[in-house]
Chains A and B, each alone.
Chain A
Amino acid sequence: MHLIFSEHLDFSVNRVIDWLSYYNQQYDKYIGHSTVDDHFAFNDKMITMSFGGTDKKESFIVKNDNQEIDFDSIWFRRPSSDISPFLLDFEHKATYPKDFLEYTIQKRIKVFWDFLGYKLKEKLHQGSFNTTGLNKPIVLQEAQNLGLTIPKTLLTNDKEELKKFFEQCNKKIITKSIDGLIPQHKEKITDNNKHLLAYQLTTLIDNIENTPATFAPSLFQECIDKEYEIRTIFLNGTLYSACIFSQLNEQTKIDMRNRDANHPTRYIPYQLDNKIETSIIKLMNTLNLDYGAIDIIKGLDGHYYFLEINPVGQYGDVSLQCNYYLNKKIAEHLINVQP
């Protein structure tokens, strides 16, 4: 059985499942805490892992209704570190606070959960159990060390240094989040069938005077005037690139995710320079990743600027628009068949 760690709504996974079905494979999807009862769950299984001793004999058994499950492969598409499915409520009458006890239990279960992921990684797998996000400044620094060009970058909590940087960058800088915002918060609006959704896009700063005077250490980069954007999918050592003409629409110029539903952005397949491809592959190997969605921009100055890697980024748009058949390639990797 092929087990896929995913999220409730991750449509790319369903396309891979279509290909697994095409190859007559058994599969199941784990999405953490689920209200859909026919998804795979771990908290209703009997799990045993043994190792050590002089004979170093190892076993890893997951049972469902006394039947052992045989995992052929694991796809860590979007693995969850959420252990809440294991934390069921219990009666507590002691003086020791229940919160403290629950925290203590969580720490123990997290150790077990991480070890379970570690053992699952011994199977044929795709993706990483642990890496769902990367430290953006570290990745930028490593990318530069491996020969990639990155935009001028500043991390500071000093407004005066920010002002100097702003001047150096021709009064055009961008601010972007260095980690996520909890997007699941959906504030209901009363009186209608709508809710509020919070998210972050890359923001252009072209006037420094009206910005906050005090702030925590934050990341700023020079705003590169783009010719076009390149989205590259790294999958098991191969790069699949798309050129994205985000500059043809005012709305997608700064952040291409700010899409215009009535004017879809044009994508075409793209071949990156050999030297850049080699540097990206070295970077992915340094970060120990077999998958990543990489953002690059081609500046009007002719340089290729590496921006970031999302280790669980979406590949569906690049695959579909450039005919890369990445869903099929992922399914074939999981089944271990040669295309």
Chain B
Amino acid sequence: MKDESKKHKDFFNIPEHTSIPFDLHYICVSEKENTDDIKKFHYMKKYKSKGVILDFYKKNSNILEIDI
């Protein structure tokens, strides 16, 4: 979800300039949780040949905990 707050607006401080495209003044910035992708990958590998669909990476996943 787009962060409409002004919390991190200084992350991009884009000046007005003839070499900077218009759309770059509308970059969105959001806070995200840090995740360990490698651990997720190894976890998923256990299931990759069993035809199991795992949407564990989604926040509304029905898998509450990953036992790595």
Contact = CB atoms under 8 A, between A and B. Distances in A.
Q: Do A and B come from one complex?
A: yes
Interface of A: 8-9, 11, 14-15, 17-19, 21-22, 35-36, 157, 175-178, 181, 186-189, 193-201, 203, 211-220, 251, 258-261
B49 A21 contact: yes
Given A194-B34, A196-B31, A201 B2 contact: yes
19 contacts: A8-B41, A18-B48, A21-B51, A22-B51, A177-B21, A194-B32, A194-B33, A194-B34, A196-B32, A197-B30, A197-B31, A198-B29, A199-B28, A203-B26, A213-B16, A214-B17, A215-B16, A218-B21, A258-B2
A178 to B, nearest CB: 7
A177 B23 contact: yes
Interface string B1-41: 11000001001100011111111111111111110011011
B53 to A, nearest CB: 7
B11 A215 contact: no
A201 B28 CA distance: 7
A57 to B, nearest CB: 39
Nearest to A200: B27
* B: contact size bracket: 35 or more
Given A21-B51, A258-B2, A175 B23 contact: yes
B23 A176 contact: yes
Q: Which of B1, B26, B30, B57 has the most chain A CB atoms inside 10 A of its CB?
A: B26
A203 B23 contact: yes
Given A11-B57, A157-B18, A251-B1, A187 B23 contact: no
B23 A200 contact: yes
Contacts of A21: 48-51
B50 to A, nearest CB: 8
B26 A175 contact: yes
Given A21-B49, A181-B27, A36 B38 contact: yes
Can you list the 7 inter-chain pairs with the closest CB atoms, starting with the nearest? A218-B22, A21-B49, A215-B22, A203-B26, A218-B21, A212-B16, A216-B21
B23 A18 contact: no
Contacts of A177: 21, 23-24
B34 A193 contact: yes
A108 B44 CA distance: 37
A310 B32 CA distance: 25
Contacts of B26: 175, 200-201, 203
Contacts of B49: 17-18, 21
A196 B41 contact: no
Nearest to A156: B22
Nearest to B45: A38
Given A14-B48, A200-B27, A214-B16, A261 B59 contact: yes
